Structure 1
Amino acid sequence: MGDVDPAFIQAAEHRPKLSFTEAQGIPLIDLNSSSYAATKDLVDEIGAACKNWGFFQVINHGVPLETRRKLEAAAARFFAQPPEEKRKVSRDEANPQGYYDTELTKNVRDWKEVLDLTVKNPTIIPASLDPADGELRQLVNRWPENLPELREAFEEYARELEKLSHKLLRLISLSLGLQENRLSGFFNDHTSFIRLNHYPPCPIPHLALGVGSHKDSSALTVLAQDEVGGLEVKSKADGEWVRVWPTPEAFIINVGSITQVWSNDEYESVEHRVMVNSEKERFSIPFFFNPGHSVMVEPLNELVTEQSPAKYRPYNWGTFFANRKLSNFKNLGVNNVQIDHFRIQE
């Protein structure tokens, strides 16, 4: 990623001092359940993790380790290439899928480089931020010509993560007291994407972040992180930062803002960030599980009562998603859209 930009250092010096709480960590849940009793216990565990943490790790999830390792290896080969080679598949306003780094975007917040790829190729989203337009556009993946193995590994991995995400969605539905498939129909034409992250060693770890504090706008995020680690979660109990230590072969799951709205704040999308490492590079692969572009996101009728009225106005996911993508390339005159923009004031 090149030498450290003085502007990066100047901006980073104004960051709050970093601190985090050492803790046992977020819940670790075994998905290998076959009996009814075990399934009920599993649902209860999932519900408690979503409510108390907004994060959990899963083991015995069914994703073959070889499938994950193939994509990790292909991603490492991609990021090891010279900058000019990687930038042949750079994203742009017309198609926001592809490669970018902090030098390309002049983004002084995050110390990383990224390759974004949609699960469905192409993926359909609105062409404008006006829902009344009705015009759609296609997001098409940009594949590096010199690494054909990347596409094969990605597509195999994406199929497995899609299956795992649907399983988790069913368990979360049950944990909310809903029918098992209550949420499944929202994902018939899903807009999910996978991000390949590379965090190079950082010479100013006391000043920089791999990724600043944020919440995911997805329904669920399924994260594979390597043994270096660096992910931290803001504890709902005391507001302190808790390091998520890598668990071999596990995936880290977090509740996204869409699930927060569906659950009418029963479950919350929690802030998290990534710390940089001064000596080791780090790789991670988040899978952002998103509904179809036409889905209107709002509190589910079953979870709205006289005692707990709807806390959000409906919003169109496709327009929300398009806004997030477009904001990477132009100033829209407002802050990045968040679900709080749709919160009903009491």
Structure 2
Amino acid sequence: MLGEEMSRELGGSVLVANVQALLPATPVMCHSDMRKLLVDDDEMGKLHLACKEWGFFQLINHEVAEVIEKMKADVQEFFKLPQKKKNEYAKLPSGVDGYGQNFVVSEDQKLDWADMLFLQCLPASERNMRFWPDEPTSFRETLVKYSSELVKVSNCLLKLMAKNLEINPEQFTNMFEDGRQSVRMNYYPPCVHASKVIGFTPHSDPGGLTLLVQLNEVQGLQIKKNGKWIPISPVPGAFIVNIGDVIEIMSNGEYKSIEHRAVVDPEKERLSIAIFCSPGAGAIIGPLPELTKEKGAIYKSVSREEYIKFVLSRKPVRKSAINLMKLEN
């Protein structure tokens, strides 16, 4: 199934308060207060700038803190399980869902150093419960709740982005209606040879939106801006939101997906949970007509199925998928 193959790339891969300028000297991403976004034009302007210039922002006051804490606790308990128990949920050789290690050599010859659990959340009919842990006992119920709450958060963000782009919000939300949502839970062990490994190879996300929450205070996420890698200091309790390639394409380049990576700490473990939101079956991936009037379309328009083939035709590194979608000058 094509959607399942798209998940392979990710598995291998609401309001906003004060949005601060992202400065290389101050490695803190702009952050938005969701409560203010609905009523504050200045906050909307800051969100717009973050999506245009950075492709990343931190979302606070999202009103789902309780389920985040439950999800954090269950994920931490899962990774503490004996190896034999975790292996009961191991990925099949040709599979996508399940538990496994990502200890593979990346393009720059560094070793990818990560332990992860990847699961399909939506559509619910595509959940493979064989790989959903039953320990801790609350895990499945918590993940279903977490998935449901993040649909609400992502839909709200899509509407706010559409408003900033001066288009009908339904043009964004309809694309993601009955869409695919998957989760990747990451455990990055400490490594004394941290300079020789990478937590996750540099890439941009091929989907629409990614919402990541960090489980501890260890820095590891970095974004590439003007040729330099900038470390991100996570705001406690915030979602780190990044624009995926699909939204860059739909916005005709107005919003940018950005290259990012995860690095490993030599002494401390790092854990995170990433939710990936992608368009549903039958969606057309291409620039929205209203956003092509001034400079014309700079990306192709293809079916979701064809787009997935584009993604799978290249290694999930750098911005390979988005570059393949660009029209010739």
- Both structures adopt the same fold (TM-score exceeding 0.5): yes
Question: Which residue pairs with 2:79 in the alignment?
Answer: 79
Letter in 2 for 1:57: Q
The partner residue of 1:253 within 241, 244, 260 is 241
Distance 2:309 2:128 in 1: 14
Moved more, 81-90 or 50-59: 81-90
How far did 1:148 drift?
A: 2.8
Secondary structure of the 1:339 match is: helix
How far did 1:186 drift?
A: 1.1
Distance 1:266 1:244 in 2: 23
1:1-346 equivalences under 5 Å are 22-33=25-36, 36=39, 38=40, 40-63=41-64, 65-92=65-92, 95-103=95-103, 109-120=111-122, 122=124, 138=126, 140-141=128-129, 142-225=131-214, 226-235=216-225, 238-305=226-293, 307-321=294-308, 335-336=315-316, 338-346=321-329
Secondary structure of the 2:207 match is: coil
Distance 1:260 1:102 in 2: 28
Distance 2:37 2:244 in 1: 27
Distance 2:258 2:326 in 1: 16
Tell which structure's C-alpha radius of gyration is larger: 1
How far did 1:322 drift?
A: 6.9
Secondary structure of the 1:114 match is: strand
1:74–1:149 CA contact under 8 A, matched in 2 = yes
1:122–1:140 CA contact under 8 A, matched in 2 = no
How far did 1:25 drift?
A: 2.3
Deviation per residue, 1:68-94 (Å, 9 max, x gap): 111111111111123332222122366
Distance 2:47 2:124 in 1: 33
Letter in 2 for 1:293: A
In the superposition, the TM-score normalised over structure 1's length comes to: 0.80
How far did 1:146 drift?
A: 3.7
Distance 1:80 1:323 in 2: 38
Question: Which residue pairs with 2:4 in the alignment?
Answer: none
Q: In the comparison of the two structures, how many residue pairs are matched? A: 299
How far did 1:122 drift?
A: 3.9
Structure having the higher helix fraction is 2
How far did 1:181 drift?
A: 2.6
Secondary structure of the 2:122 match is: coil
1:96–1:139 CA contact under 8 A, matched in 2 = no
Distance 1:35 1:190 in 2: 25
- Superposition RMSD on alpha carbons, in Å? 2.3
2:123–2:179 CA contact under 8 A, matched in 1 = no
Distance 2:124 2:308 in 1: 15
How far did 1:323 drift?
A: 7.3
Change (3 A) 1:121 1:80: farther
Moved more, 159-168 or 309-318: 309-318
Distance 1:272 1:34 in 2: 26
In structure 1, the gaps of 5 or more residues are 1-19, 124-137
Secondary structure of the 2:170 match is: coil
1:109–1:211 CA contact under 8 A, matched in 2 = no
Distance 1:265 1:42 in 2: 22
How far did 1:95 drift?
A: 4.1
Distance 2:315 2:141 in 1: 37
Secondary structure of the 1:183 match is: helix
Moved more, 265-274 or 225-234: 225-234
In the superposition, the TM-score normalised over structure 2's length comes to: 0.83
Distance 2:210 2:32 in 1: 16
How far did 1:58 drift?
A: 1.3
In structure 2, the gaps of 5 or more residues are 1-22
Letter in 2 for 1:163: K
